[in-house]
Amino acid sequence: MVNRRQIKFIFILSIGLLSLSILFQNCAKSNITNSGAAVSQQTILESKSIDILNQKCSSCHSESTGAANSAPGADPITNISDVNYLLRTRLIIPGEPDLSPIYQSVRNGDMPVNESLDTQEIQTIKDWISGIKL
């Protein structure tokens, strides 16, 4: 026979299981939103960085101008605002801004020639490269 104590026990057990399952559901949901936010932050950094490279660098480092703007013996940079090109030619090392020639050149104030990017633009490019994961 099931007595009152056992009914009470089963009741409390079911409430416990129910709240546990609700708790886990919420955890799973909040993980999804968090990683979604991280992805879009990186997307924003990337589009800002590509804008900077387009506006401040591509006039000298495009298909038509690259060869004229390279150090003697160095491979010309022909497509400075194309992420896949930058990764393939190792002008950007994922997660390693200080090892990436693109970041080194703006950090050191070497590029663009005869001017330099402002602190915020330099930081944007740094954060973008730091966040690239392959």
Among 42, 46, 56, 94, binds ligand HEC (CB under 6 A): 56
In the complex, minimum distance from the CB of residue 119 to ligand HEC, in angstroms, rounded to a whole number = 14
Among 45, 50, 57, 129, binds ligand HEC (CB under 6 A): 57
Distances (CA, A) of 87 to 6, 36, 90: 65, 24, 5
Among 50, 86, 92, 102, binds ligand HEC (CB under 6 A): 102
Q: Does 92 bind ligand HEC (CB under 6 A)?
A: no
Q: Does 39 bind ligand HEC (CB under 6 A)?
A: no
N- to C-terminal Cα distance for the chain?
62
Cα separation, 117 vs 83, in Å, equals 19
Q: Which of 84, 125, 89 is nearest to 106 (CA)?
A: 125
